[in-house]
A = this chain, B = another copy of it.
Amino acid sequence: MKIVVPFKRKNAKSRLAGILTQEERDALAMNMLCDVMDALHGFEIDVLTTSMLSNSEVDLSPHILLSDSGLNEALNEYLNSRAGHDNDSVMIVMADLPLISSKHIKEIEELDADVVIAPGRGGGTNILYIRDPSGFYVDYYGASFIDHLRIARENGSSVEVYDSFAVSTDIDEPDDLVELLIHGNGRASRMLADSGFKVVVRDGRVVIDRNKM
Tell me if A175 and B122 are in contact (CB < 8 A): yes
Q: Is the beta-carbon distance between B204 and A141 smaller than 8 angstroms?
A: yes
Given A145-B182, A182-B145, A182-B146, verify A122-B205 contact (CB < 8 Å): yes
Closest to A103 in B: B163
Residues facing B in A83-133 (CB within 8 A) are 118-119, 121-124
Which residues of the other chain, B, contact A118 by a CB distance below 8 angstroms? Answer: 165
Is A199 part of the binding interface, using a Cβ–Cβ cutoff of 8 Å?
yes
A166 at interface, CB cutoff 8 A: yes
Complex Cα–Cα for A57 and B144 (A): 35
| Chain A: interface size category | 20 to 34
Mark A194-213 against chain B: 1 for CB-CB distance below 8 A, else 0. 00000101001110000000
Whether A123 contacts B199 by the Cβ 8 Å rule is yes
When C-beta atoms are compared, the residue in chain B nearest to A173 turns out to be: B205
User: Within 8 Å CB of A46, what residues of B?
Assistant: none
A178 within 8 A of B: yes
Pick from B161, B164, B178: contact of A122, CB under 8 Å: B178
Task: Kindly list chain B residues whose C-beta atoms are within 8 Å of the C-beta of A143.
Answer: 182, 199, 201, 206
